[in-house]
Structures are given as C-alpha cells and as structure tokens.
Amino acid sequence: MTVPSASAGRAPRRLFSARGLVLAIVMVVMLGGWMAGGDLLDLPVMADDPTTPGESPTTPPPPIQTPTWDTTTSGSVSFAFVGDITFGRARQRPPRGSGTIFDRVRGALQADITMGNLETAIGNMGASKCSPGSTSCYTFVAHPDAAQALADAGFDIMTVANNHSRDAGESGVLSTQRFLKEAGVKWTGNPGQITYIDVEEEGIRVGFLGFAPYWSVANALDIQNAKKMVAQAKKNADLVVVFFHLGAEGTGSQHVRPGTEHAFGENRGDPMAFSRAVIDSGADLVVGSGPHVLRGMQWYKGKLIAYSLGNFSGFNTLSHSGALGVSAILHVTLDKKGQFVVGSVTPVVMVSPGFPRIDPKGTAINSMSRLSQQDFGGKGAVSLARNGTINPPK
C-alpha cells in the first residue's frame, strides 16, 4: 500500500538551519535459512568497552567528522542512516530501558530525516516463528519501549523489509506498527508500500521504500516490480530513497561482487543489479544492510550507493566480534533535484552487550575507503577523507 504523509506523525527536525551537512571474545552461532533468521548471533560478553576491533591507522587519525550544518545552502535535505538494529530476545531490555542503547550516539543521529533497519518485532506478544523445542531458530521481539527509544534517539522512519520483522507473526507486525505510530516513527518495506515524509521548511517531499529477498515484504528479487514502485514514488516525491536488506553474511562477505549472493541456502539477491535498477528508475540514494559487516560505497550515475552499514545495535543478539562489531552512521545531504551536496561517515563500534559507540580510531572510515577502492576503483569508488568526509563524485 502507499502510505501518505501523515500530519499526526512527528515532524522532521531541523538542527540550526538544517540546510546542509559538512559533516571480548564471542562465540558466533551460524543460523540456517529463514527459520534461523540467517543472522550472526552473539553470546553476551561481559566487557564494558573492549578495544575497538578491526583496522586502525598507522599514524594517529585526525578528529572524526561530526554533524555540522552549512547555513548558506537552501533547498536541501539532510539524512542520517544506520544498519541493522535489534533490542534483544523475548522482550529483553537493558535495566534502565531500551533508550540507553543509543545514549552515546544520539548527537551523531541528528538530521532532517534519520533511518535504520528495524530487524525485530516490537510488543508484548510471544514469538511465533520457531517451533517448540527448536535449538536452531532465533526470534527477536523487542520490549514495547523500543519504539519510543527509536523516536527519542532521533529516528524518523525505519525499514521493516528484513527476515526478522515478522518473528512474532502477523500479530507482531500489527503490534510493531501500533507502537511505532504511537511514538511518531514511520515505517516502510511492506509489499507495495511507499512512505512519504515532507520536509516542510524546504518544500521537499521524500519517498522511502524498503526491500528484502522475501515475498512477505517488498521483494528485492522482483526487480521489475521494484522499478515500478520506485518510478511511482518519483512521480509523487522530489526525492526517492531506497533501503535494501540483501547479500551474503559474515566476515567473509565484505566485498561486493556482480551476481547473485547466497546465505544459508537462500537467494539473497544481487545487490549491484538491484541498486543500479532502482537508480535507473528514479532513486536518488540507495542504502543497504544485511551482510552484518561494512561494505564499500559506489557512485552510479552520480548517485550514492552504500552497500552495507553493518550492525548498529544488537543487544544480546547480533555479534560484535571483529568486523561484525564495526559499523557507521552515514550522513548525506541532497538538493531538491537529487544531487549530492555533502556527506560524511561517522565511525561506530558495537560493544558488549551490543551498544553502539562512536569509534575515535575511525575503523569504519578506513574499512569503507579500502573496500570502496578495491571493489569499484576508478571513478566508481566513493572516496573518503581521513576524517570521514565524503568527497563528491568526479
């Protein structure tokens, strides 16, 4: 269904003028197929702030880019994106509430519109996906306060196109929607769904679509239908943003290669073909999650594709071991015509028991720079400055 822009929802925030953005040991259990969720789960590690995993510069890095605003550029919209978000199993939550998960990253989440992948159901119901006594099936059902935690952290819209949003069945889907609506957070990603948000100060409407390789959500395997949906959104909005949940999973899946990817016996789609198809049909920005690790970024026809932003939060669920614990907050500002204005990457590390923290070592910046050059090279690779600033396309 097409979801109209609703005045009852929380209005997009403006920071200052909001007109531009310059801005530990774990056991990893591999789960099989859709029933197992196809995710990399983590057994809790009782460590507070372990050493940042992954790479670090050979020389001390410059200060990390933090969100600031260009007060001279009008007619633009700033976005902030993160990857996969879970809140725990069986309505678990931290002792002081789900909102504490985001306490140390709130400042970096601020933008006109902030979006992430909600890889869980929300509500008081029990899980329904797993059969009784199953030892290889995992479900994510968040405490009801998770929706307000997202709103308080700055999230305006979530994609529910993934393999865990229906972990509590259809009643869980309705429950999730009810709590998100009450919190003023919009969603997208159901079959045929396009969600619109108006940035009224700039007179710009943005259409959001979410896709994953399953028929229970907007199916990314049906590229022709995805193209039709994007074209429809473009007729009704100034800008179109597509968020996908695609690709193979795990530390061996950081590289993007042409062709179909698989995980746990499932067809997980062709991220490159999908991204190019939706841009050809009118998408102005494409953001991905699913592999649970960072991937590189690419320019295609002047449009930015971020193939995976990794695990953002995974309270007692998603692994934070090595590369699985490295993620990023992607900041992008587009003008009304969909042209890139400015952008940056804020590096994040997920620490036990699955909380995001700003990473002063800049691990994500180094990784995304390297992966972008290795996978796309030449004019296609997105180039990052050492402080995380995204250099414009050539």
In this prediction, residue 22 carries a pLDDT of 35
Asked whether residue 393 is assigned to any structural domain, the reply reads no
Total domains, the chain: 1
Percent of the chain with pLDDT over 70: 78
Query: 167 lies in which domain range?
Result: 2-376
CA contacts within 13 A on the Cβ side of 167? 31
Amino acid symbol at 12: P
CA distance 376 to 367: 14
Per-residue confidence (pLDDT) for residue 93, from 0 to 100: 81
Whether residue 52 lies inside any domain: the answer is yes
Would you say residue 385 lies in a domain? no
| CATH code, domain carrying 140 | 3.60.21.10
The number of angstroms, rounded, from the C-alpha of 115 to the middle of its chain's C-alpha atoms is: 7
Q: Is residue 295, in this structure, part of any structural domain at all?
A: yes
Q: Write phi, then psi, for 55 (nearest 5 degrees).
A: -80, 165
Q: Which whole-number Å values give the CA distances from 161 to 120, 134, 308, in the listed order?
A: 10, 25, 14
Residues in the chain, pLDDT under 50 = 1-12, 14-36, 42-62, 66-72
Phi, psi of 145 (to 5 degrees): -70, -5
| pLDDT (tens digit per residue) in 23-51 | 332 223 333 333 345 555 543 332 222 22
Question: How many Å apart are CA 254 and CA 245, to the nearest integer?
Answer: 14
The closest of 57, 89, 32 to 354, measured between CA atoms, is 89
Distance, in Å, from the CA atom of 84 to the CA atom of 317, rounded to the nearest integer, reads 11
Spatial distance between the Cα atoms of 146 and 115, rounded to a whole number of angstroms? 15
Task: Give residue-wise pLDDT tens across range 248-289.
Answer: 999 999 999 999 999 989 999 999 999 999 999 999 999 999
pLDDT of residue 64: 54
Contact between residue 137 and residue 168 where contact means Cβ atoms under 8 Å apart: no
- Residue 394 is assigned to a structural domain of this protein: no
Kindly calculate the radius of gyration of the chain based on its CA atoms and give it in whole angstroms. Answer: 19
Say how far apart CA 317 and CA 41 lie, in whole Å. Answer: 5
Give the pair of three-digit tokens for residue 124.
């008081």
**pLDDT at 135 (0 to 100):** 57
Quote the tokens at residue 194.
Answer: 């396009």
What digits encode the pLDDT tens for the residues 339-376? 999 999 999 999 999 899 999 999 999 999 999 999 99
> Does 89 reside within a domain?
yes
In a domain, 389, yes or no: no
- State how far the Cα of 329 lies from the Cα of 102, in Å rounded to an integer: 12
